[in-house]
């Protein structure tokens, strides 16, 4: 269960490398880390936390199998987290005692933009077609049920960040 924005700043263990990011997100506790960075109201809109994801789009296209595998595994873990936590991410508590609710994209537009950019190379796999290294075809409850994929896009859509929509090829 996701909780309201914490006053404790999550430890980002900088500088972030693809290896550190992959290990932190895909290993035990990865979902908790994603929850912490998603629900914390970053003073920079999530720019620093976004460093855990900005390497993924480039590495996803790497001809080196280990590099693209690492990017795919990290992105897949992120996609599963977003798909399974949509409701909570659309109403993250903030303000006094966490009583006000706001979507994650409003509090952390730079972080949500990084989520969108990191998942862009994997859109076909999210839609259920062939996967990519490290990112198998996304699991849907039934072949024609794309609710989990819709959940991912609904969370990303909580951001009004123009960069995000341009990176996804939507609008101008």
| pLDDT value of residue 90 | 85
CA proximity to 105, closest of 89, 123, 120: 89
How far is Cα 17 from Cα 7, in angstroms, rounded to an integer?
26
- For residue 18, pLDDT over 90 is answered with yes
| pLDDT value of residue 4 | 43
**Residue 98 pLDDT class (50, 70, 90 cuts):** low
| pLDDT value of residue 161 | 56
For residues 101 and 31, which has the higher predicted lDDT (pLDDT)? 31
Q: Judge residue 39's burial from the number of C-beta atoms within 10 Å of its C-beta, 0-12 exposed, 13-18 middle, 19 or more buried.
A: buried
CA proximity to 74, closest of 119, 8, 116: 119
Return all residues near 121 (Cβ < 8 A) that are at least 6 apart. Answer: 56, 57, 60, 61, 71, 75, 132
- Which contiguous run of DSSP H or E holds residue 93? strand 92-94
Give me the mean pLDDT over the 73-79 stretch. 97
- Which tens digit of pLDDT belongs to each residue from 21-60? 999 999 999 999 999 999 888 899 999 999 999 999 999 9
- 168 SS3 class: coil
| pLDDT value of residue 131 | 75
**Residue 17 pLDDT class (50, 70, 90 cuts):** very high
CA proximity to 49, closest of 65, 64, 62, 36: 36
pTM of the full predicted structure?
0.84
Give me the mean pLDDT over the 2-11 stretch. 62
Average model confidence (pLDDT) across the chain: 83
């Amino acid at each position: 269960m996701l909780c309201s924005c914490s006053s404790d700043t999550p430890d980002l263990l900088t500088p972030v490398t693809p290896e550190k990011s992959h290990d932190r997100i895909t290993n035990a506790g990865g979902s908790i880390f994603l929850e912490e960075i998603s629900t914390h109201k970053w003073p920079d809109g999530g720019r620093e936390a976004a460093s855990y994801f900005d390497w993924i789009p480039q590495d996803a296209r790497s001809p080196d199998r280990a590099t693209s595998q690492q990017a795919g595994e990290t992105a897949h873990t992120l996609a599963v987290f977003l798909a399974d936590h949509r409701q909570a991410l659309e109403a993250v508590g903030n303000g006094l005692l966490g009583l006000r609710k706001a979507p994650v994209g409003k509090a952390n537009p730079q972080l949500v933009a990084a989520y969108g950019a990191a998942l862009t190379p994997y859109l076909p796999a999210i839609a259920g077609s062939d996967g990519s290294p490290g990112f198998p075809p996304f699991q849907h409850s039934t072949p024609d049920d794309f609710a989990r994929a819709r959940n991912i896009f609904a969370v990303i859509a909580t951001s009004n960040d123009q960069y995000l929509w341009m990176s996804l090829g939507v609008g101008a």
